Amino acid sequence: MKKLLVSIQEKPQVYPIIIGEDLIATVDSLFDFGKYSKIAIITGKNIPKKWLTELQKSLPFESFHILVPSSEKGKTIDTVINIWNQFQKLGMDRKSLVINLGGGVICDMGGFAASTYLRGIDFLQIPTTILAQVDASVGGKTGINFNNIKNYIGAFQQPIGVVIDVNTLSTLPERVYIQGFAEIIKHGLIADRVYFDFVTSKKPKDFNTSELTQMLAKSNEIKRKIVEEDQKERGIRKIVNFGHTIGHAIESLSFETDTPFLHGEAVLLGMIVETKISELTDLLPAEDAAIIYERLSRLGLPVSVGKIKGEDIMKKIKTDKKVVKGQVNWTLLNSIGRAIYNQKVDDKIVEKALATVVK
């Protein structure tokens, strides 16, 4: 039986973010799919087949599905071209719908493919990982990697809705499950100290379904309010980038190794470094920094970049999307629960902060 727990309306283009149990199997009751000419489901090769089967059974008419790589290495223009080709072969028109069923890679890439095909067709996000449920599926950012740079090509395009079925989390590998908490913790760090204390009060696997649902709702509410105020990331939305300037550099460099980091793992490393930058620039009190280091270190995620070199991270930072006229615009912390953006930082301070994760 469907159990609807939360429904959040997002602006400026209003669409629902629906959180609950057994939603995939009953998704037809949530949206008017009858108005679409065709439906294509984009999903990953590693997504449990049961979710695709449940989704297809719930739709009012036969749908098609397109299997694509779920890893960051496959999040490329070549994969998107393959998706476009399949759209064309299926006869997808401007009245067609794309449903993205999977993690962050699927939501980012599928959203980009839909937002650029025929100058944009509707898409629905059904994220199946914690990371995607609190980050990639919400806010209208779509994109792909380019030349080993994370999310370098993309577009802002809002979905018709986001359906978060918490049942999908029961099929996640433990490593994938835990890494999603990096983005949850980030929301507390940038916007709500009470929330930060709650989400770091236990190890990720120790939270029950009810508590996890509260987190998903609260993280979405935090991000919704930020995006509502600044859809195109010209101002306040930049605070959600905390941990991502360093994190994306580490993640991109790890693509070239045999042991790539997951996105949440790289973001956690980025938050450690950017917390240190905040401390070294006298923006963040040392006592707050100490609390952050301690909480992040007990999450169960890597706290060292391994064989990646500090100088390579410094070079990769310069290719970040947030670089303007050669200057990185940093998002840093003033306190736990308060972030500030467009901060200029001397490279020597960044190099010193990197020593916290470069061993």
Q: 176-354: same fold as 3-172? A: no
| Cβ neighbourhood burial of 183 (10 Å; 0-12, 13-18, 19+) | buried
pLDDT digits (tens, 9 = 90+) for 296-316: 999 999 999 999 999 999 999
What predicted TM-score, i.e. pTM, was given to this entire model?
0.88
Residues in CB range of 210: below 8 A, 6 or more apart:
none
| Known active-site residue 263 | yes
Catalytic residue among 119, 234, 325, 348: 119
Q: What is the pLDDT tens value at each position of the chain, 359 positions in all? A: 555 555 555 454 468 999 999 999 999 999 999 999 999 999 998 999 999 999 999 999 999 999 999 888 899 999 999 999 999 999 999 999 999 999 999 999 999 999 999 999 999 999 999 999 998 767 788 999 998 888 889 998 999 999 999 999 999 999 999 999 999 999 999 999 999 999 999 999 999 999 999 999 999 999 888 988 887 788 999 999 999 999 999 999 999 898 999 999 999 999 999 999 999 999 999 999 999 999 999 999 999 999 999 999 999 998 877 777 778 999 999 999 999 999 999 999 999 999 999 98
Catalytic residue among 10, 21, 75, 141: 141
Say what the alpha-carbon torsion angle 72, 74, 75, 77 is, to the nearest 10 degrees: 150
| Known active-site residue 248 | yes
> What residue spans define the domains of the chain?
3-172, 176-354
| Known active-site residue 224 | no
Catalytic residue among 38, 244, 276, 322: 244
Cβ pair 137, 162 in contact under 8 A: yes
| Known active-site residue 72 | no
Q: Could you tell me which CATH class the domain 3-172 is placed in? A: alpha beta
Q: What is the pLDDT of residue 4?
A: 55
223-247 burial by CB neighbour count: b if 16+ within 10 A, else e? bbebbbeebebeeebbbbbbbbbbb
| Cβ neighbourhood burial of 99 (10 Å; 0-12, 13-18, 19+) | buried
| Known active-site residue 223 | yes
Catalytic residue among 75, 150, 223, 238: 223
| Cβ neighbourhood burial of 218 (10 Å; 0-12, 13-18, 19+) | buried
Task: Quote the CA–CA distance of 146 and 151 in Å, as a whole number.
Answer: 7
Catalytic residue among 10, 21, 183, 221: 183
The CATH number corresponding to 176-354 among 3.40.1480.10, 1.20.1090.10, 3.40.50.800, 3.30.450.40 equals: 1.20.1090.10
Catalytic residue among 75, 150, 187, 248: 248
| Known active-site residue 187 | no
